[in-house]
């Protein structure tokens, strides 16, 4: 009976070793990593490949390859390499250098697109300057302000100052 337990233990140990070896091989071939940053620039060096990129209040510099989308809020995108999918920038700029490739759409809201003559964009190009982006934001702020003012007015319109026994308000007493 102890021999049977030893055989089972050896088989279990061999199975664990095979599982560990296969998982290590799978991890070594991991897909492109996505990158997300807040306030820190992202750089994709030449020869480097990454997945999607999201950046808030920072800039993206691409000299290698991005196999996904780039989304930036409050920064710029400078492409010297290639981007497989879309580039979207809110309140910033996109600059495509000589030989740069953008495989999808390029959209800039509240900024500008600068493109070298040899840069290629295989999708649509959309750009709204800062004035056109600022107008809807101001309208939205005005609407929110009016709603808050209406709520304050509705809450306070039927309130009266407390009256004391002699007809004086609480402040006068």
pLDDT at residue 156, as a whole number: 86
Do 77 and 94 touch, CB atoms closer than 8 A? Answer: yes
* Residue the block writes with tokens 């309140």: 91
Instruction: Look up residue 24 and give its two tokens.
Output: 């290590």
| Rounded-to-10 torsion of CA 109, 112, 113, 114 | -170
Instruction: Look up residue 4 and give its two tokens.
Output: 């049977």
Instruction: Output phi, psi for 104, to 5 deg.
Output: -125, -150
**Per the confidence metrics, is the pTM higher than 0.85?**
no
pLDDT in tens, 111-151: 899 999 999 999 999 988 766 666 777 888 999 999 999 99
pLDDT at residue 133, as a whole number: 62
pLDDT at residue 45, as a whole number: 95
* Domains in the chain: boundaries: 1-30, 35-128, 131-160
The chain-wide mean pLDDT, for the chain, equals: 80
Question: Higher model confidence: residue 156 or residue 67?
Answer: 67
Residue 81 neighbours by CB distance under 10 Å? 20
Do 68 and 52 touch, CB atoms closer than 8 A? Answer: yes
Helix (H) or strand (E) holding 130: helix 130-156
Do 114 and 100 touch, CB atoms closer than 8 A? Answer: no
């Amino acid at each position: 009976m102890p021999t049977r337990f030893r055989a089972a233990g050896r088989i279990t140990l061999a199975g664990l070793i095979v599982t560990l070896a296969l998982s290590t091989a799978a991890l070594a071939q991991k897909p492109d990593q996505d990158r997300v940053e807040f306030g820190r620039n992202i750089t994709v060096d030449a020869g480097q490949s990454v997945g999607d990129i999201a950046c808030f209040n920072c800039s993206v510099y691409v000299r290698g390859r991005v196999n996904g989308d780039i989304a930036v809020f409050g920064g710029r995108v400078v492409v010297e390499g290639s981007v497989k999918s879309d580039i979207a920038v809110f309140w910033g700029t996109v600059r495509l250098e000589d030989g740069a490739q953008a495989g999808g759409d390029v959209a800039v809201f509240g900024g500008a697109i600068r493109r070298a003559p040899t840069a290629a964009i295989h999708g649509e190009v959309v750009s709204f300057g800062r004035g056109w982006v600022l107008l809807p934001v101001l309208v939205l702020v005005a609407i929110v302000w009016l709603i808050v003012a209406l709520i304050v007015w509705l809450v306070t319109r039927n309130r009266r100052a407390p009256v004391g026994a002699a007809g004086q308000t609480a402040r006068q007493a």
